[in-house]
Amino acid sequence: MTVHSLYIFDRRGKTLFTKNYSAAARQAPTNVDDEEEYLAEKRKLIFGMLFSLRELTGSLGPEGQLPAVYSVRTGAATLHNYETRSGLRFAMYTNNDIQQTTGKGDGKFTSVREALQHIYSEIWVEFVVRSPLYRPGELAASSQSQKGIGKFDIRSTNFEQKLDAYLSSMPWFDSK
Amino acid sequence: MMHLFIVNQSGGLIHHRPLGARAPRIGTNDWLRIGSTFHSLHAIAAEASPVKLPGNKNSYNSEDGIESIEANGIILKCLQTRTGVKFVITAEPGTPDIELALREIYVLYTDYALKNPFYELEMPIRCDLFVQSVDALIDRMERNSNAGGGGNLGLSVKK
């Protein structure tokens, strides 16, 4: 199973972190003038889609359930989503080989959803939120942004290394 | 299973129906909104994906889009035909054979709506025979699953 990319959004839709894993995801389309602009648009699309789908499933589902989108599957890929109470969204694109997303993994097999939850509680909270430099709301939007002074840059933490190490240890992780 | 709704090529809702007693009540205006929102999100999902199918056509040779959504307390499955008509079923998690039901309902749509000389394309479906046959199909599926076998439903399925 191939993991394509990972996105982390805050509750307002700003992208806090993004990373492409698979070769397919890294190939930017060549017929686009402004790549930066295109990528930003794509991220907004993903956030907007997750937001609207949450509203949609909320109105379709039984009363009294807190709406939460777990996964969205199209013919090309599957988007797995984990949303925290604070509105932080962890979204991961994989291909369609993954069997279970919502279920609890059986002992050895960690489902993608559990992995996203682990990434939040053990990696994001530990290495970003608890970083002495971190101030909520001041995260630099992407690693290419010019604003460095006064903003917290995620590269000052081990977040990315720890994230990569964790994902590589997953039996289903395979970035071809 | 909870609800069935059908969206036409332009995004307008042409049919909605509760499929079971446990289906939550949803007003007509809400249905119209749900139909058009789903229509746009269906296409956006294919657009936002990091990889796309060749020509954006899936295995049914129709435009790629949302096939399945899992959420808290509900799952949703969609079948889009080559003409852009979307059949969508919502159900409780763990419900079996939803894709089968979608394909069967598509067959019923061609038999009782499209072949009905008074039915206008893209208009809301007002064909009694269609509604009756959908109800009968769901009944058969419920009875078969209650009888403890998801096996042979005796339905004809053409891909």
Q: Give per-residue pLDDT as tens, A93-149.
A: 988 876 654 444 455 567 888 888 888 888 888 888 888 777 776 665 444 444 444
Which residue from B minimizes the CA distance to A95? B51
Chain B partners within 8 Å of A25 (Cβ):
50-51
Query: Residue A114 in contact with residue A104, Cβ under 8 Å?
Result: yes
* pLDDT tens for each residue of B13-66: 999 999 888 888 888 899 999 999 999 999 999 888 888 888 777 777 888 889
Prediction ipTM score: 0.83
Between A76-90, A93-107, B83-97, the lowest mean confidence (pLDDT) is in A93-107
Residue B89 sits at the chain A interface (C-beta within 8 Å) = no
Q: What is the mean pLDDT of residues A53-59?
A: 90
Interchain pair B67, A74: CB under 8 A: yes
Residue B21 sits at the chain A interface (C-beta within 8 Å) = no
Q: What is the mean pLDDT of residues B151-157?
A: 49
Query: Residue A151 in contact with residue A139, Cβ under 8 Å?
Result: yes
Q: Give me the residues of B, 90-119, that contact A with CB < 8 A.
A: 90, 93
What distance in Å separates the CA atoms of residue B159 and residue B157, rounded to the nearest whole number? 6
For B131, the token pair is 């509604």
Interchain pair B48, A42: CB under 8 A: yes
Residue B51 sits at the chain A interface (C-beta within 8 Å) = yes
- CA distances to A77, A96, B67, B103, B155 from A172, rounded to whole Å, are 15, 12, 22, 31, 36
pLDDT at position A149? 43
* pLDDT-based confidence at residue A91 (cuts at 50, 70, 90): very high
Q: What is the mean pLDDT of residues A139-161?
A: 60
State the smallest CA–CA distance between residue A148 and chain B in angstroms.
28
pLDDT at position B6? 94
pLDDT at position B24? 85
Please state, rounded to an integer, the average pLDDT across all residues of chain A.
79
Q: Residue A153's closest CA among A140, A141, A144?
A: A140
Interchain pair A45, B48: CB under 8 A: yes
Please state, rounded to an integer, the average pLDDT across all residues of chain B.
86
